[in-house]
Amino acid sequence: MKAQESTLRPHPTSSCDAIRRFGAAIDRAAHAPDWRISFRIEGATSRLRFPLPGSARRNHGLWQHTCFEAFLQADANDSYYEFNFAPSGDWAAYRFGGRRIDPTSPEMPAPPIVFKRSMAGCELIADVPIYALPELAAAPVVRAGLSAVVESEDGNLSWWALAHAGDKPDFHDPSTFVLRVTPG
């Protein structure tokens, strides 16, 4: 699979002028059997709030603060997976039977997460063990939606995604899973 790079855009109801550019990518080359999902923010990241590094653990509610997310759905399937990655190293994974229904927490190894900050921006890289999720590993095509919730220094949240649909941010909307990833 060749790296697929895209730009995240803010939902029309939110903004964050500290962010100049927000890129995201999925890549499996040289990372097999994991999929590398990365996010890069360029801008005044000193004006953003990031959870402090800690002991990486599976945790819920990460989206209440700065959190990077990936939604992966085997093509022609109603079920999908949601992955949350926090700069702290915390993570979450869910499998839904359909749009926001029948959530479960799949058994899988913790995805290694690296978060780096510099004066020009920040980057989060997560290596997702797709091999542990047969439904995705066996799919000839996976539809992906990459997104993020970003907390600014004043505590306001902004919602970023490859695509938005509707009046309110909804990363679970399958019409926003716009990347087509071929695992092989």
The structure's pTM equals 0.94
Angle (CA) 3 24 108, round 5°: 80
User: Checking DSSP bridges between strand 35-43 and strand 121-128, what pairing results, if any?
Assistant: antiparallel
Helix locations, 25-172, DSSP H = 134-137
Rounded distance between C-alpha atoms, residue 94 and residue 104, angstroms:
6
Over its length of 184 residues, how does the chain's per-residue pLDDT go in tens digits?
556 789 999 999 998 999 999 999 998 755 578 899 999 999 999 999 999 888 789 999 999 999 999 999 998 899 999 999 999 999 999 999 999 999 999 999 999 999 999 888 999 999 999 999 999 988 999 999 999 999 999 999 999 999 999 999 999 999 999 999 886 5
Tokens of 76: 């022609």
Q: Give me the domains of the chain, ranges plus CATH numbers.
A: 4-181 (2.60.40.1190)
DSSP 111: P
Retrieve residue 88's tokens: 């702290």
